Chain A
Amino acid sequence: MLHRRQPRHAPSKLDSRSVRLGASASLAAILLSVFALTLTDRGMAMLGRVVGFLEFYGGVLALVSLTATVALGLLTTERVFLSPPNRVRAQFAHRATAFAGMAFLLTHISLMISLNHVPLAAAVVPVAGLYVGFGTIAFDMMVVVAVTGMLRGRFAVTGRPWLWRFMHASAYLSWPIAILHGLTAGRFAASWVSWSYMACLAAVGSALLIRVLATLLRPALTPEWVDAPEVSDMPVAVPEGINAPVSLAEARRKYREAG
């Protein structure tokens, strides 16, 4: 039997008041601890190391998580790869990696701007050269993808799911550009890194190709003809005894003859 997970009188929604309180409290705690760290020399050094790490690896982490996101997203749409329960799990993982990827991406961009590697406008408009510009374009498209991902339920209601698919699918364009940006801008990438990105691109690209081809080549869904009795113009030929009145004695005789 089903049990109520919530008591009848408790509001089933998340208590927005305590969520707000908790979020602002944790934000304040982080800001305060950063502020406290700046007070001592050791703290400053630690902070510097953290910023240095994020400056160096923030973009890489973002690219890795978003690669995983694209792969999981592709995996969860197709029913050939996974069973329904695993597709649900893959969707959850898709969201989690997307969230992490966007967080790293925002850190990466804000650090690059605040450390004066690129001008402020480069976050939105490709003004800082071709290689950084790849990243800008990829980010702009990724924002569209993230927003449509969050508003997915709305599109199901408004009756334009193709619009959602179209917008969300710009990830398949944004992600290779992001990889291009990762390989060209900044420091020189080690060869194994380039190779693994290429492998990812090839895997996702071929999966995507199969998906598109399968959609295009799939025969139209048509109803099925059931073989019904055929029409014929044969004369009526009723076998003897079929429509004769039923006689109990005759039935008994037949039964006896049959053994």
Chain B
Amino acid sequence: MIPHSVPRVLRMGPARLTAGLDHTRRLDLPAHRTLHGDQVPRSLDDIIALVEEVDMRGRGGAAFPFARKLRAVADAARGGECVVLVNGAEGEPASSKDAMLLVRNPHLVLDGAVLAAEALNAREVVLATVEGEVAKSSIEAAVAERRAANVAGAAESRINIRVVGLQEKFISGEGGALVRAVNGLEAVPPGRKRRASTSGVDGLPTLLSNTETFTQLAVLAELGAEEYAKVGTSREPGTTLLSVSGGAANPAVVEVPTGTPLINVLEMCEAEIGDGVLIGGYHGAWLDAETAISAIISREGMKRAGGSLGAGIIVPLGESTCSLGEAARVAAYLAAQSSGQCGPCRLGLPDVARALTALVDGSGSTDSIRRSVRAVERRGACFHPDGTAKFVLSTLDAFESDIALHQEHGSCGRPVRGILPLPEREDEPEYRLEVDWTRCQGHGLCAHLLPEFVSLDDYGFPSFKTVPGWMVKEASRAVDMCPALALRLAQAT
């Protein structure tokens, strides 16, 4: 398959994950094999040794040592069944590296996953990605290509590969939520944490990691540790993928060796720093202009600059937009993305977002934000409240002068342009109650059943408000119970 449009790719230094993508939109199996050669199965000890030599970490944001994960799965399986789960549902609106890899270079992802699966003697490879996107059809086509090649006599691995489509939500990329979704449950983080390496897909030990991790594993196995470590810093060798978007005139997924200055990447993407750069996605932190100029792309370098590289998301803000307003939009989005399971998160995050919005029009104060942030921090089953708290606190620190401006004048004079990418807000269905006035006798049972949405006039006849989607059950009960059979429920247009 050849996708119609694909995420753009840029690079500095050697082409590894993005090799061959300059000339084609998608590498199919023959092109992939010509470029990367046939896959050689490795033993588990071999792979662990390789991975440890370059200290490979998970690329989904948490940077967990991949060798420890491999060993934990192998120990938990103890020769029994296990599963390899590739997390291709990034959920972060500003990230596009997973989509890029799955759309343009799916066979490298599969190579890495299959390599790990064969070494672990896994039952299957499960690839979880967003339902209804090009990425899913691309990876499904890649699986079909491999099957077809085997029929034609090639020696591709015959391990079972299953592609699972998920609803895209911010929270669906969280490991626990992903495992639950793959198991056919609702994609929300579990209340009690269980490591995927001991009990994941179908309760089996599961090697769960991000798409890029498996791609890096394939490249590492192909090049060997020495060649792999030729670029990048000595402590974090190799390359990394960055998703640059936002105020960049030339947004792209960029492959850079670690140790590259951030400013070079931004220049390549024709981005101006403006008020600051958001590093690590919407659970990340802002770097102000001065720090951003001297920051280095690596986990260590970013930590020194006061941020964290996370999943490699870089969003420069530019100068033309109201930075505080942009942050408030993101906070509102994050609040709406709570799965609603934990009370402090469900009720507290909207308050944080409201406090931040109040600051934008000058009526709020930083103290009230800090107070509402304290009510949600570390009070949830997953990282969502913490990550949101981190983002909001970092906003307060990074845009101090801006905040002073807003508090004094009610605005910084710049409009909110929507530089930070956010998915469009879905409209919730609304319903309205219709009444057949010739039948209505003013019994008033509907007003008793739906006191918030039906009011009776002086004669005892009802007038209705629009009923939100989450009240539809009560509304249809009122329809059922109307003694005059005069009520109807219709979708509001």
Q: How far is the CA of A7 from the CA of B336 in the complex (A)?
A: 10
A155 and B444 form a contact (CB under 8 A): no
- Shortest CB distance A86–B (Å): 10
B289 touches A (CB below 8 Å): no
A42 touches B (CB below 8 Å): no
Q: With a 10 A CB-CB cut-off, give which of B169, B452, B485, B486 has the most chain A CB atoms.
A: B485
B480 touches A (CB below 8 Å): yes
Q: Knowing A12-B470, A87-B445 touch, does A7 contact B480 (C-beta < 8 A)?
A: no
Residues of B within 8 A of A152 (CB): 480, 485
The closest CB in chain B to the CB of A221 belongs to B441
B470 and A84 form a contact (CB under 8 A): no
B483 and A77 form a contact (CB under 8 A): yes
Q: Residues 335-368 of chain B: 1 if any A CB is under 8 Å from the residue's CB, otherwise 0? A: 0101111000010000000000000000000000
Which of B340, B480, B482, B484 makes the CB contact (< 8 A) with A8? B340
Residues of B within 8 A of A5 (CB): 470
Stretch of A47-55, A134-142, A156-164, A178-186 on the interface side: A156-164
- Shortest CB distance B425–A (Å): 12
Q: How far is the CA of A2 from the CA of B481 in the complex (A)?
A: 23
Q: Residues 1-34 of chain A: 1 if any B CB is under 8 Å from the residue's CB, otherwise 0? A: 0101111111111000000000000000000000
Q: How far is the CA of A79 from the CA of B436 in the complex (A)?
A: 20
A76 touches B (CB below 8 Å): yes
A84 and B340 form a contact (CB under 8 A): no
Residues of A within 8 A of B482 (CB): 156
- Shortest CB distance A50–B (Å): 35
B313 touches A (CB below 8 Å): no
Residues of A within 8 A of B476 (CB): 153
- Shortest CB distance B407–A (Å): 28
Q: With a 10 A CB-CB cut-off, give which of A7, A87, A161 has the most chain B CB atoms.
A: A7
B379 touches A (CB below 8 Å): no
- Shortest CB distance B197–A (Å): 27
Q: How far is the CA of A8 from the CA of B469 in the complex (A)?
A: 10
Which of B445, B485, B488 makes the CB contact (< 8 A) with A84? B445
A156 and B340 form a contact (CB under 8 A): no
A194 touches B (CB below 8 Å): no
Residues of A within 8 A of B469 (CB): 12
Q: How far is the CA of A156 from the CA of B470 in the complex (A)?
A: 22
Residues of A within 8 A of B447 (CB): 84
The closest CB in chain A to the CB of B473 belongs to A12
A88 and B480 form a contact (CB under 8 A): no
- Shortest CB distance B232–A (Å): 40
B304 touches A (CB below 8 Å): no
- Shortest CB distance B184–A (Å): 9
B480 and A12 form a contact (CB under 8 A): no
B470 and A4 form a contact (CB under 8 A): yes
User: Interface residues of B, CB < 8 Å — how many?
Assistant: 33
Residues of B within 8 A of A77 (CB): 483
B339 and A84 form a contact (CB under 8 A): no
The closest CB in chain B to the CB of A161 belongs to B485
Which residues of chain B in 153-203 are interfacial with respect to chain A, using CB atoms and an 8 Å cutoff? Answer: 169, 186, 188
Which residues of chain A in 153-196 are interfacial with respect to chain B, using CB atoms and an 8 Å cutoff? Answer: 153, 155-157, 159, 161, 164
The closest CB in chain A to the CB of B453 belongs to A2
B439 touches A (CB below 8 Å): yes
Q: How far is the CA of A164 from the CA of B448 in the complex (A)?
A: 24
B443 touches A (CB below 8 Å): yes
- Shortest CB distance B488–A (Å): 6
Residues of A within 8 A of B484 (CB): 161
A84 and B473 form a contact (CB under 8 A): no
A235 touches B (CB below 8 Å): no
Q: How far is the CA of A155 from the CA of B485 in the complex (A)?
A: 8
A12 and B340 form a contact (CB under 8 A): no
A7 and B443 form a contact (CB under 8 A): no
B317 touches A (CB below 8 Å): no
The closest CB in chain B to the CB of A12 belongs to B470
A84 and B479 form a contact (CB under 8 A): no
Residues of A within 8 A of B479 (CB): 153, 156
Residues of A within 8 A of B486 (CB): 156, 161
Instruction: Show 23 residue pairs from A and B whose CB-CB distance is below 8 angstroms, ordered by the A residue.
Output: A4-B470, A5-B470, A7-B338, A7-B341, A10-B186, A10-B340, A12-B473, A13-B473, A77-B483, A79-B443, A84-B443, A84-B444, A88-B445, A152-B480, A152-B485, A153-B480, A156-B479, A156-B482, A156-B488, A159-B436, A161-B484, A161-B485, A161-B486
The 3 closest A-B pairs by CB, nearest first: A7-B340, A161-B485, A156-B485
Given contacts A9-B340, A153-B479, A156-B479, 18 further A-B contacts (CB under 8 A): A2-B452, A4-B340, A5-B470, A6-B470, A7-B338, A7-B339, A7-B341, A8-B338, A8-B340, A9-B169, A12-B470, A79-B443, A88-B448, A153-B476, A156-B486, A156-B488, A161-B484, A161-B485
